[in-house]
Amino acid sequence: MRFSEYFLPTLRDVPKEAEIVSHRYMLRAGLVQQTSAGIYAWLPMGYKVLRKIEQIVREEQDKSGAQEVLMPTIQSADLWKKSGRYDDYGQEMLRIQDRHEREMLFGPTNEEMITEIFATHVKSYRDLPKNLYHIQWKFRDEIRPRFGVMRGREFLMKDAYSFDLTKEDAKYAYQKMFLAYLRTYKRMGLKAIPMAADTGPIGGDLSHEFIILADTGESEVFAHKDWLEKDITGQGIQYSDREGLNAYYEELTSIYAATDDKHDPSAIDASNLVTARGIEVGHIFYFGTKYSEPMNARVQDSNGDMVTVHMGSYGVGVSRLIGAIIEASHDSEGIIWPEEVAPFKIGLINLKVDDAGCREACEKIYADCQEQGIEVLYDDRDERAGTKFKDMDLIGLPWQMTIGPKGLEKGVAEVKNRKTGEKSEVSIEAAMTKLAA
């Protein structure tokens, strides 16, 4: 992409309404634009990152055996009356009336709808287990939308729903998701600690929140100091290895970590305890038959008896993750994108666009990158070098490659690693080889 053609409305000034760094940088780097309180339009670069995050979530869900569906954003109130949640959900639910005065709503979550879909089609234990997920916009009329996309009213969520014959099997489904989550966050360069959590209005008795430690987090959390060093990717564990997975799950969950509601000071020695703030980027629940019972999701077991299925639900805050990643990875100059979610891998800076040599060299690099499938943002604008460097640091691409007349005389480009700040002068070929890796 050429910077001169890109719709990338960067801002010089810090927007007043933005209280935390991720929100400031998201606005300044032109990733999103607020259209109403807690509702955002995604501009090209922000949308590119959002899609990458979404894709990582999708790939890890698929690997765990979950199957993607897509349910609508608008739901009928009847479904929610059946489960008894229509009244309970309260003012966070955006209620709508269609032209026939039928009660509809903009879905805040999908337990009811997926259970209805499941119950329509699945009648036998032979069709279990099933885990169905979708990645869809949700609406919750939050009392205090704030911190940009971190607490929006409209936000993108991945929500998965598991269906099993027994509680034991449901626990296995839960543990698979647990592992998928660890891997998902790790791929985004994040460390999300699974913490024992309250089940809240969704109900049930087994739940973990996945929390990234950050001073600007909304939750107060409590964890054993061992978490700080612990590698939690579950390397080598296979989803099909039920015992291995269970052992790994037991190992991790035996290390103390709890959200505010679940914290029990008597359960951990004070000298080992870390109290911190955290951002919730995912939440998983096992809730038994809470929805399958009222929604009539039953299957026939091997004896021919009708059994109510056991369920779990598993959410990832896809749009919140962009904010969380920036909170975890930035400096005073701007965002530092982890490579896996970066909108482009390289920012190519032409220091002197009116110099034929610079132009030619940059055009060649730009074309080579495109041929090799390397994502590059080429700053071909007629702007001062200082402005270009500032913008490039702000938008935080992992690598910067700078071409100027002096370097060209020696046949070199300057390559900068955005994260470490390390710069080196290398031949253009060497730079290309390094960055293609």
Q: Which of 30, 107, 148, 152 touches ligand ATP by CB under 6 A? A: 152
Q: Which of 80, 155, 181, 389 touches ligand ATP by CB under 6 A? A: 155
Asked whether the beta carbons of 21 and 328 are under 8 A apart, the reply is: no
Residue 320 near ligand ATP by CB under 6 A: yes
Closer residue to ligand ATP (CB): 116 or 280: 280
| Contact map string, positions 162 to 191, toward ligand ATP, x by CB under 6 A | ------------------------------
| Contact map string, positions 199 to 238, toward ligand ATP, x by CB under 6 A | -x--------------------------------------
Number of shown-chain residues binding ligand ATP (CB under 6 A): 16
- Nearest-CA neighbor of 219 among 310, 148, 295, 324? 324
DSSP H helices in 287-401: 318-328, 356-372, 385-395
Asked whether the beta carbons of 274 and 224 are under 8 A apart, the reply is: yes
In the complex, minimum distance from the CB of residue 401 to ligand ATP, in angstroms, rounded to a whole number = 35
Q: Which of 30, 315, 343, 404 touches ligand ATP by CB under 6 A? A: 315
* Terminal-residue alpha carbon distance, the chain: 20
DSSP string, 229-267: H---S-TT--TT-HHHHHHHHHHHHTS-EEEGGG--GGG
Closer residue to ligand ATP (CB): 53 or 431: 53
Residue 366 near ligand ATP by CB under 6 A: no
DSSP string, 174-213: HHHHHHHHHHHHHHTT--EEEEE---GGG--SEEEEEEEE
Residue 157 near ligand ATP by CB under 6 A: yes
Q: Site residues for ligand ATP, window 245-304 (CB under 6 A)?
A: 280-283
| Contact map string, positions 44 to 83, toward ligand ATP, x by CB under 6 A | ----------------------------------------
Strand, coil or helix: 350: strand
Dihedrals phi, psi of 213, to nearest 5 degrees: -75, 130
In the complex, minimum distance from the CB of residue 31 to ligand ATP, in angstroms, rounded to a whole number = 15
**Alpha-carbon distances of 344 from 49, 57, 396, rounded to whole Å:** 9, 19, 9
